[in-house]
Amino acid sequence: MERARAVDRLESLVDRVASEPMPVPVREVWAFGDVALGLDPVDRLDVYLTKDVIMGGDADAAAEFEAEYGVKGVGTTIDAEWAEAHPDRVRTSDNGYAAPEKCLAAELVEDSKGRSPSGSRTQSGDDEPIHLEVCNAGFEDNVRQRLKGALARDAYEEVLDPRGVCLWVDGTRDEEAFERLRAADLAMPTLPAALGMLGADERAANEAADVLKRERADQEGTSVRGDMI
């Protein structure tokens, strides 16, 4: 993805989060990885969304949606009004419950046409090289939590690239951040150096960087990961 197009895509994502109903409330939008480093072209556009948990829930809506579509959790894990308006964009986890991160991906990135609420594909979806990370915790907190867990278990594939920039938070858009992304003038360290600043020793930082590089080389099209802290 050409750099200019990647930043345009980020702006369109922020515009939609700021102005349109989402399957779950979104509190923060960050860009990290290639686009924050100033690369051109951008191999993958990495976007981090901090979501809020739906409070209270709607038991009646959940029962009605499950009866019609066989999907649990509507009105509790995702917004009932959004699901009723866009049943073709509702995605589920393996246990049949609505999956907030997959629903956000369907709303913001995927081609939702031709998909059932279970998420089965009946026609080709969007193959944009976009990866969404969705978590209830903010980007900086999750970076530290994921690194701590990865170091404790030598599970370096769990590391989250800490080189990010906040684009939108609690309804406020950072226009300067977009300008700096377009100009590619954000000063970012190498990934091992960034992980070292957060407490990883040199060996672990280099190994984690190698693991993430290999994983990224295997990724294609749209991808999404949900996380809970």
- The total of other beta-carbon atoms located within 10 Å of residue 183's CB is 10
**pLDDT for the residue 126:** 54
CB 29 within 8 A of CB 12: no
**pLDDT for the residue 217:** 84
Whether 107 has a pLDDT exceeding 50, the answer reads: yes
pLDDT band of 59, cuts 50, 70, 90: confident
- The total of other beta-carbon atoms located within 10 Å of residue 88's CB is 12
Angle between helices 202-218 and 139-153 (to 10 degrees): 110
- The total of other beta-carbon atoms located within 10 Å of residue 170's CB is 8
Mean per-residue pLDDT over the chain, rounded: 90
Whether 122 has a pLDDT exceeding 50, the answer reads: no
How far the first Cα of the chain sits from its last, in Å, is: 32
Q: What's the longest Cα–Cα distance across the chain? A: 54
Let me know the angle formed at the C-alpha of 173 by 32 and 182, rounded to the nearest 5 degrees: 50
Q: Which of 29-38, 61-70, 211-220 is modeled with the greatest confidence?
A: 29-38
Share of the chain above pLDDT 70, in %: 93
- The total of other beta-carbon atoms located within 10 Å of residue 95's CB is 8
CB 114 within 8 A of CB 122: yes
Kindly report the pTM of this predicted structure. Answer: 0.91
Share of the chain above pLDDT 90, in %: 83
